[in-house]
Each structure stands twice: as structure tokens, then as C-alpha cells.
């Protein structure tokens, strides 16, 4: 022991009887009881039909739905991120028209339910029967397409998910940008960096630390929310299962199949998110 710091009278030990926490024990006992009941019903209630669950878990139609869910999530999320960054930068523009436009976008897409937006996109042809490319306000039109052909259920699903996600991500990216101290921007300006370069090389990389965790949450949330597009009859994970149980009436087992897959995917994404977060936290 370090003699300079210690007291030569020896230690005055504490050998006390621990305080009791009876309510904690009661709560724990209740939880154990409920868990035991749940497990027992899993094992003994024949209506779970576990054999059906396992027979469908790796079925081709389910796996195809799963892949579609993943693709839809990835593509919508990617488009949402790109549009979200653009909206966030616009939101911070000194030009009121630009920041106002971004604000209105966010207001609209966050203020209406995604399910409504999806159905809206699906029915876009009712509002704009033809969609064309040309000079507006009576100018010549180079090409035009039947909106019904252009807006397939898949396009409607992608548009609905991506445009809605962009509104949320814009706010997340904005929060990240604002979190970077003003001194960083000033130092960059003094060095001779343009605003664009400052944003790309100095601000956004530092904002990532704030942006990544909630974006991970949004991705996980998107994975689950994409099940909403089942209303557009897109055979993603949920709708693939619905097709099966509408035929076989094995509703509960197939919903369990779907839930197992969602749980596996969200768990995997959570793990990936943790790794990315550690990577961006390096310098802090």
C-alpha cells in the first residue's frame, strides 16, 4: 500500500446487513410467474401450430416476400436519405423561399398518415391521368405517359415510403448540422472553403455522429412500416403470408412466421447500427 496516502490507524471495516427490497422481490416473482404461464401456453396450446410455423418459415413464397421487404426498405431508405439531406440543407438556407419550401414539405409529409399517402400515390392517375415531360404553362410536350402505367403499385409504394421518410430524415439531418459548432464553419470559411465544401467536408462528417443513431432507428422502423404497402397488394413479407393464410386459414402460424422474420431482421440491423455508431464516434 502507498504509505504516503494511507492512514496508519488501519481500516475501519464496514460489515453491515444489506438493506431489504421486498417489493423488488415481489415484482420479480410476478414476472417469473407470468413468463412461466406464457411459455406453458406456447408449448401446450395446440392452436399455435408450431409445426405449421416451421414448415412455412423457409417456404419460397415467404422468402421471396422477405427479399422484397428488404429491397423496398433499402431503396426507399436510400432515396429518403438523399432527399432528406437536400431538404435539410434547403431548410438552413438563408433564402426564405428555399427554407420555406423545405419546411412546407416536412409539414405536409409528417402531418398526414403514411397509409393515406400510400393510397394517394396509388390513385395518382385519378388526379393526373397523364404525366409528361415538356415546357410548362402551355409549351411543347416531348413525351407523356399514362399515369396508370407509370404509377404501378410498386412505384406508389416506393414513392410513399421514400417521400415520407425524407421528411423525417430531413429533421434528423438538420439536427445533426445544427449540432456542429459555428466555430467549425468559421474556421473553414477563414481558410477559404466555399459553403458547399464546408458543408460536405467539415459539417456533414461531424454531423454524422448525431445523424447516424436516429437514422438507424428510422431504418429499423422502415423495415416494419414497409408492411403497410400490403394494402397495395405488393407481395412483401406480410402480404405474402396473407396470401397463404387466406387460402389455408392458418392465420396465426403465418403471422408468427412473419413476426419471427421481422424480429430477426430488426435484431441484425440493431447490431449493424451499433457498429456504425462506434465507427463515427472515433474522434470524439
What residues line the site for other proteins (CB under 8 A)?
181, 183-184, 186-195, 197, 201-202, 205-206, 283-284
Query: Least distance from C-beta 197 to other proteins, angstroms?
Result: 6
Closest to 223 (Cα-Cα) out of 262, 275, 179, 191: 262
Query: Residue 112 Cβ, how far from other proteins at the closest point, in Å?
Result: 37
- With the CA atoms of 51, 48, 253 and 116 taken in that order, what torsion angle do they form, in degrees rounded to the nearest 10? -170
Between residues 21 and 197, which has the closer beta carbon with respect to other proteins? 197
Residue 174 C-beta: closest distance to other proteins, Å? 19
Distance from chain centroid for Cα 190: 38
- Nearest distance from residue 80's CB to other proteins, in Å? 24
Query: Which CB sits closer to other proteins, 47 or 278?
Result: 278
- In terms of C-beta density within 10 A (0-12 exposed, 13-18 middle, 19 or more buried), how is residue 171 classed? middle
Q: In whole angstroms, how close is the CB of 170 to other proteins at the nearest point?
A: 22
Under DSSP, is residue 122 helix (H, G, I), strand (E, B) or coil? helix
Instruction: Tell me the closest approach of the beta carbon of residue 274 to other proteins, in angstroms.
Output: 20
Q: Which is nearer to other proteins, 136 or 183 (CB)?
A: 183
Helical ranges in the chain per DSSP H: 22-44, 50-57, 60-91, 96-111, 114-122, 124-127, 147-150, 153-179, 182-191, 195-197, 204-225, 237-248, 251-280
Task: State which residue, 64 or 209, has the beta carbon closest to other proteins.
Answer: 209
In terms of Cβ atoms closer than 10 Å to its own Cβ (0-12, 13-18, 19+), residue 29 is exposed
Asked if 233 and 203 count as a contact pair (C-beta separation under 8 A), the reply is no
Shortest distance (Å) from residue 102 CB to other proteins: 21
* Dihedral of alpha carbons 24, 25, 30, 35, sign: positive
Do 203 and 177 contact (CB within 8 A), yes or no? yes
Cβ-based nearer residue to other proteins, 202 or 228: 202
CB closer to other proteins out of 5 and 190: 190
The two beta strands, 141-146 and 130-134, are antiparallel
- Closest to other proteins by CB, 130 vs 200, is 200
Amino acid at each position: 500500500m502507498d504509505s504516503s496516502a494511507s492512514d496508519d490507524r488501519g481500516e475501519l471495516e464496514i460489515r453491515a446487513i444489506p438493506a431489504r427490497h421486498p417489493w423488488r422481490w415481489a415484482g420479480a416473482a410476478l414476472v417469473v410467474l407470468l413468463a412461466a404461464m406464457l411459455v406453458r401456453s406456447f408449448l401446450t396450446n395446440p392452436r399455435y401450430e408450431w409445426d405449421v410455423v416451421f414448415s412455412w418459415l423457409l417456404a419460397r413464397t415467404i422468402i421471396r416476400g422477405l427479399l422484397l421487404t428488404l429491397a423496398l426498405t433499402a431503396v426507399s431508405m436510400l432515396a429518403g436519405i438523399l432527399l432528406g439531406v437536400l431538404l435539410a440543407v434547403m431548410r438552413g438556407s438563408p433564402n426564405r423561399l428555399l427554407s420555406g419550401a423545405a419546411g412546407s414539405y416536412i409539414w405536409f409529409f409528417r402531418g398526414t398518415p403514411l397509409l393515406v399517402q400510400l393510397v394517394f400515390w396509388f390513385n395518382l392517375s385519378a388526379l393526373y391521368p397523364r404525366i409528361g415531360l415538356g415546357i410548362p404553362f402551355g409549351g411543347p410536350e416531348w413525351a407523356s405517359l399514362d399515369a396508370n402505367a407509370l404509377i404501378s403499385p410498386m412505384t406508389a409504394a416506393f414513392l410513399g415510403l421514400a417521400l415520407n421518410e425524407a421528411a423525417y430524415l430531413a429533421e434528423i439531418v438538420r439536427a445533426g448540422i445544427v449540432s456542429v459548432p459555428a466555430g467549425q464553419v468559421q474556421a473553414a470559411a477563414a481558410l477559404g472553403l466555399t459553403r458547399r465544401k464546408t458543408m460536405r467536408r467539415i459539417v456533414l462528417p461531424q454531423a454524422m455522429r448525431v445523424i447516424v443513431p436516429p437514422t438507424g432507428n428510422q431504418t429499423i422502423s422502415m423495415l416494419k412500416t414497409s408492411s403497410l404497402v400490403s394494402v397495395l397488394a405488393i407481395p412483401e413479407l406480410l402480404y405474402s403470408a396473407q396470401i397463404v393464410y387466406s387460402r389455408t386459414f392458418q392465420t396465426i402460424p403465418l403471422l408468427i412466421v412473419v413476426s419471427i422474420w421481422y424480429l430477426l431482421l430488426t435484431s441484425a440491423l440493431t447490431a449493424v447500427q451499433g457498429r456504425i455508431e462506434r465507427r463515427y464516434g472515433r474522434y470524439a
